[in-house]
Structure formats: C-alpha cells, structure tokens
Amino acid sequence: MEKKPHFVRREFLPREVPSISLALLLAAVLLFNALLYLYLNKFYNALGRVETDPGLCPFGHFKFGAVKNCSPWLSCEAINREVRKLKCVGEGAVKKVFLSEWKEKKVVLSQLTNSDLKEDFLHGLKMLKALQSKYVVRLLGYCEQQFTILTEYHPLGSLRGLNETLHIPKYKGMNTWHRRLMLAIDYVSVIRYLHSSPLGTLVMCDSNDLDKVLSQYLLTSDFHVLVNDLDALPLVNRSAGRLVKCGHRELQGEFVAPEQRWPYGEDVPFEDDLMPPYDEKTDIWKIPDVSNFFLGHVEGSDIVRLHLFDIHAACKKKDPAERPSAQEVLDTYRKVLTLLIREAAMPGTREML
C-alpha cells in the first residue's frame, strides 16, 4: 500500500497550530495574573494601606512629616508654650477647631466649647489615644485640664469637600473610578477597624445623615481616608448583652438604619427608655450611601456600582443579622477592584478563551 505522509502532515497541522496558540494565550494570562498580583501588592503598599504601618510609634508617642524619631505626646505645658493659634477653621456642638502652628508645622488644636458636653470630649480623647493606627488621625498631644487636643493637620479637610477638591486642576487626574473606589475601600477599612478594634466592637454613632458622616473623616494629601471625630463611639458587647443607642433623641430618615427608627408608629410619642438598642450593623446599612457618594459620576463608576449591587443589597437587609460584616464588604470591594483592573488591562480575554 502506498504511503502518503503528506496527508498525515495536513491532517495534524491544523490541530497543532490552535493548540500552540491556546497554550501561548494561557501562558500570557498566567503571566498577566502574576504581574497583576505584584502590581496590586505594590499599589496597596505605595498607598499606605498595608496591614502594618512602619510609621507608627509606641503608645504615647508620635512622628510625622520627614521626622524619623518618635516624640512623646505634647503635655499641657508644651502645648501652652509651643503651639500658636492661627485661625478658627470650624466649630461643632462639642468643640472649636483652630489651625495652629507648632515648630513651623501646621497642626490642629481642638478645644471644648460646651462644658455640658465635656464627657463627650473626654470620651473622644480616650478613643483617639486608644485607637491610634493608620485609620485614625494622628494625635500629637492633649491637655485634659484645659480640654485641649492637638492633632495632625490635613489641608484637604473633611470628605465633605471631596468633589470640590477633585475639580481643582492639581487633582483632576485623581478623579477616576479607580481612585474613587480606593477611597470607598479606605472608608470600609475604617469601619472594619472600628468593628474589630483593640477595645472591642465600636459603633460610629455620629452618622445620622450623609453630610454628618463625611464631616467625621479627613482626606489626606495622598488621597486616603482617616477617621477624625471619635466623640460618639459606643461599645457593643454581645456576650454581656450590651447594645447601643446613638443619642437620646428620635432618629428619622432613610439614611439611618431601620432599627434606629422609632418602631411604635406615629401614634405613640417617642420615649428614649422605650427605644430598643441595636448593634454595629447600623454602620453596614449606611455603607452603600456613603460609597455612592465616593463613586460620583465619572466614567466607569456605573460599572463599579453594577459589580457592587449584590453586596450593597445585602447591606440594606431590614434584618440586621442578615447584613454582611464590614470584613465581608471589604473583601468584596477588593475583589471588585482586582476584577475591574484585570478587565481594563486585558479586555476580551474571556472571549478569547
């Protein structure tokens, strides 16, 4: 029988070429995933959101700027002698805030304005001392006798001014879905930290509307989120049967969680003693609204919202027990960020496979 090797060649050649192409494509995808993993690690490290912060000092000390050594928190005497007020930059129910100067550095001096609220002021100071971390504004000193707190200054101010900041020519390059999602991740990271803090599960009670929430956080110059106001931070202790109530007045509106609203209808006058307490899941209810503010209306933000739809729907469950933890929300946010970066870098990869 006559041999026809050229037919054999023709029969296998078309199968070999796609196999080689597919192998190369798979190798490219694996390489890309490895590079993406390294990139995201570097990205998180560069933005200062790694789990350990080498810039932190031992308890009772601080450092900031280019200074390498840690200094003790400033005492009453040091604050009175070395800190100079420049101008008042804000005033709330509890304290007045002054832009000040210490050793040619801008700092923030906060002073109690209402003696009836001194317990709130001292609670905020206690929280600020105990929770010093990458998530909390840096404490530089305090004077309990004079009800004074000294903290690091952040020129971009509170998150209320985020959209205005992003329209400044210097920061327009930051106005992307990617950077905005990173800010939302920072915010959820703070909530996660408070819910698993060294003191226990803490609830962010100064959060009855969006504007109030945004006023509690600072935007740093390298575009991160720090919690700044810790005056209303009660502790949940389930094992001891201890839940919380955010204040003694009736809370209303869709922004606050259902369990924070008066449950007995309009016909029954509000009484604080009859109001049931609740837990940290009130913070989870508010995450979608705060994140919606962060995402804004830039190109790509609607795609991000679409990917976050399920986790945000879970956050809005009426039953607090059915809502996810802050850690679960944070994990989902990070997965969405990784997924969208991958899709942006290699569009069509799924279709090619």
Q: What is the DSSP string of 291-352?
A: HHHHHTTSTTHHHHHHHHHHHHHHHT-SSGGGSPPHHHHHHHHHHHHHHHHHHHHSTTHHHH
CA distances (Å), 11 to each of 1, 17, 253, 314, 333, in order?
19, 12, 72, 55, 50
Which residues is 86 bridged to in the sheet? Answer: none
For residue 174, pLDDT beyond 80: yes
Contact 42, 108 (CB under 8 A): no
DSSP 59-93: TTEE--TT--S-EEPB-HHHHHHHEEEEEEEEE-S
**Tokens found for residue 275:** 């109001």
**Tokens found for residue 227:** 């919690």
Band (352; pLDDT cuts 50, 70, 90): very low
Neighbours of 1 (CB within 10 A): 3
What is the third-level CATH fold of 154-345? Transferase(Phosphotransferase); domain 1 (1.10.510)
Q: What are phi and psi of 154, to 5 degrees?
A: -125, 110
- Residue 23: per-residue pLDDT: 63
Q: Smallest Cα–Cα separation from 82: which of 141, 139, 155?
A: 141
pLDDT above 70: percentage of residues in the chain: 82
**Parallel, antiparallel or unpaired: strands 148-152 and 139-143:** antiparallel
Residue spans per domain, the chain: 71-153, 154-345
For residue 260, pLDDT beyond 80: yes
Band (10; pLDDT cuts 50, 70, 90): very low
User: What is the average pLDDT value for the chain, to the nearest integer?
Assistant: 88
How do residues 21-47 score in pLDDT, each as one tens digit? 666 666 665 665 555 555 555 555 444
How do residues 121-164 score in pLDDT, each as one tens digit? 999 999 999 999 999 999 999 999 999 999 999 999 999 999 99
Contact 90, 157 (CB under 8 A): no
For residue 9, pLDDT beyond 90: no
CA distances (Å), 171 to each of 25, 175, 221, 300, 337, in order?
38, 7, 10, 18, 21
The residues, any chain, with a CB within 8 Å of residue 70's CB and separated by 6 or more, are 57, 58, 61, 62, 63
**Tokens found for residue 55:** 């810039």
199-47-188 Cα angle (round to 5): 45
Helix 301-315 with 177-195: angle, nearest 10 deg: 20
pLDDT above 90: percentage of residues in the chain: 75
The residues, any chain, with a CB within 8 Å of residue 200's CB and separated by 6 or more, are 235, 236, 237
How do residues 92-110 score in pLDDT, each as one tens digit? 888 999 999 999 999 999 9
Helix (H) or strand (E) holding 105: strand 105-112
- Residue 12: per-residue pLDDT: 46
- Residue 36: per-residue pLDDT: 59
Output the furthest CA–CA distance in the chain (Å, rounded).
109
What is the third-level CATH fold of 71-153? Phosphorylase Kinase; domain 1 (3.30.200)
For residue 119, pLDDT beyond 80: yes
Helix (H) or strand (E) holding 127: helix 118-130
Residue range 272-301: average pLDDT? 97
For residue 286, pLDDT beyond 70: yes
**Tokens found for residue 185:** 């991740």
